[in-house]
Structure 1
Amino acid sequence: MSLPKIGIVEDEASMRNALVALLAENQFEPVPMANISEFHDADKRTSLDLVLIDLQLNDESGLTLAMDIRRTKDLPIVMLTGQGDETDKIIGLEIGADDYLLKPFNPRELIARIRAVLRRYGNSDQISTTQSDIGRNTFGRLSVDHKQRILFDETDQEIPLTNAEYRLLEYFLSRPNQIIPRVELLSELGSDLSKYVDRTVDVLILRLRRKIEENPSKPVHLQTRRGQGYIFVTDPHRNSI
């Protein structure tokens, strides 16, 4: 069985080499690239399973590369970035980057994120990992399989979620029918999301609503409580707050 091929678009040699070593140690085949041109060359020679893209490349934009990829193929994208412009992070989420990780990051967290994204793209048979089966959560016409980290509709068809969207949904489902203040939501979702500005959280909320609500402008599950935060109503016919 071949190992998943992970592209690494990173212009800093020391970081690129560290990522190569980390991925190789965790049963991935790293494909390092120093710039966008090298990505396009490598993409012609090999079929990548996922690509890590540094947002701030030397004299180039990782965001531009991500947009180019999204226009031409369904390749999973995880973006790596420092404490840069929050606007770029928002744009990255809106164009469909599957996940973001802020530098410096925990190596184990990066590996976990990569595995989670690959699972959603149907590459779980390539990944060496274990997870207990804790069943499904059902709300309205949808259900979440926590073992596979997949959201299903009423016909058992998958509704694709990015890793950030899945983590947000999972957190809400762990606290059903509870008002969650924005500050708690930010702090509990992890070190990367805790550094996001409010606008980024709004983008994630909006994207998730588009996928789980029949009418996103009038949500029945993921509701806003003005001045208080958010609440996830699992059964809107029984719950009213």
Structure 2
Amino acid sequence: MESRPKIAVIDDDAGIRETLAHLLAENGFEPASFENSADFLSYFGEYDLSLAVIDLKLRGESGLTLAQQIRQLHDLPIVMLTGVGDEIDKIIGLETGADDYVMKPFNPRELVARIRAVLRRYEHARVPDATPPLATPDTVQFGGFLLDIENCELTRQSGEPVSLTNAEYRILEFFVQNPNRIITRPELLEALGSDLNRFLDRTIDVLILRLRRKIERVPSKPKHLQTRRGAGYIFVANLDAAG
């Protein structure tokens, strides 16, 4: 029998841990529950984990600190659970590398879908195709990259995958589907999804900065992802035509 992806749940609320464990098991995952970061880190090396779901507000500690510790140890996908009014912490979480956020009270189907989307993207990154990807109606080419919209992945033309968080991917897909027009911050916030619409404008700035580091030859002088001061951003796919 094929092994099921093992998902760690770190939350100080026993009821939520139990609910998540049941939800994950129901949907083909193997849950491993932990009350705090110390318990999780004690067993981290022994578990062959696929992803961690972390409560942003752990009792007496910060889920962001745990996310940073995980990033120092392992490239483990992270989905944060967050409450209303945690905008600043969400922004910091994006900066420290959380792959996605789900707001409490969460929709079970949405949480499972987000987990699967993150795992799918990480799996593509770990097992790159031996041959360069071919352009299809579901791919968009820009610069030296191909964005595969069907599989939600970005690759270089050489076939090398480019790792993107869910938020980075959603914004990039929105840009490539709306090229050569100025896009405002409110539009980008809406493109991120309804559970992220309480983010501050700086959220967009953080994501734009991270995307530029991944798709621009010189991030400080972007060619594809350009700023229009006082208006928003514009995505230029065809630099020759734009020149």
* TM-score normalised by the chain length of structure 1: 0.90
Q: Specify which of 181, 187, 195 is matched with residue 192 of structure 1.
A: 195
Report if aligned partners of 1:80, 1:100 keep a CA contact under 8 Å in 2. Answer: yes
Counterpart position of 2:186? 183
Report if aligned partners of 1:86, 1:197 keep a CA contact under 8 Å in 2. Answer: yes
Counterpart position of 1:60? 61
After TM superposition, give the deviation of residue 78 of structure 1 in Å: 1.0
After TM superposition, give the deviation of residue 85 of structure 1 in Å: 3.9
Q: Specify which of 171, 175, 178 is matched with residue 172 of structure 1.
A: 175
Question: Which has the larger displacement, 61-70 or 170-179?
Answer: 170-179
Q: Specify which of 158, 161, 181 is matched with residue 164 of structure 2.
A: 161
CA distance in 2, matches of 1:163, 1:107: 18
Counterpart position of 1:114? 115
Give the 3 Å change call, closer, same or farther, for CA 10–117 of structure 1 in structure 2. same
Report if aligned partners of 1:134, 1:146 keep a CA contact under 8 Å in 2. Answer: no
Task: Provide Cα deviations, 1:75-109, integer angstroms capped at 9, x if missing partner.
Answer: 11111111244332222111211112222222222
The SS at the match of 2:154 is strand
Counterpart position of 1:213? 216
Matches within 5 A, 1:49-88: 49-88=50-89
Q: Does 1:98 align with 2:92?
A: no
- Number of residue equivalences: 233
Counterpart position of 2:148? 145
Question: Which has the larger displacement, 205-214 or 149-158?
Answer: 149-158
The SS at the match of 1:122 is helix
Report if aligned partners of 2:167, 2:192 keep a CA contact under 8 Å in 1. Answer: no
The SS at the match of 1:60 is coil
CA distance in 2, matches of 1:143, 1:181: 24
Report if aligned partners of 2:124, 2:153 keep a CA contact under 8 Å in 1. Answer: no
Counterpart position of 1:33? 34
Residue type at the aligned position of 2:54: I
Aligned residues: CA RMSD = 2.0
The SS at the match of 2:241 is coil
CA distance in 2, matches of 1:124, 1:64: 25
After TM superposition, give the deviation of residue 145 of structure 1 in Å: 1.5
CA distance in 1, matches of 2:226, 2:69: 34
Counterpart position of 1:228? 231
CA distance in 1, matches of 2:152, 2:22: 27
Give the 3 Å change call, closer, same or farther, for CA 161–191 of structure 1 in structure 2. same
Q: Does 1:203 align with 2:213?
A: no
CA distance in 2, matches of 1:69, 1:14: 24
Residue type at the aligned position of 2:154: L
Residue type at the aligned position of 1:158: P
Task: Name structure 1 gaps, 5 residues minimum.
Answer: 126-132
After TM superposition, give the deviation of residue 235 of structure 1 in Å: 0.7
Residue type at the aligned position of 1:210: R
Q: Does 1:46 align with 2:47?
A: yes
Residue type at the aligned position of 1:8: V
Task: Provide Cα deviations, 1:150-185, integer angstroms capped at 9, x if missing partner.
Answer: 111131111111111111101111212222121122
Report if aligned partners of 1:117, 1:163 keep a CA contact under 8 Å in 2. Answer: yes
Report if aligned partners of 1:171, 1:189 keep a CA contact under 8 Å in 2. Answer: no
Identical positions, percent: 57
After TM superposition, give the deviation of residue 134 of structure 1 in Å: 5.5
Report if aligned partners of 1:7, 1:31 keep a CA contact under 8 Å in 2. Answer: yes
Task: Provide Cα deviations, 1:38-59, integer angstroms capped at 9, x if missing partner.
Answer: 2123324321110000010011
* TM-score normalised by the chain length of structure 2: 0.89
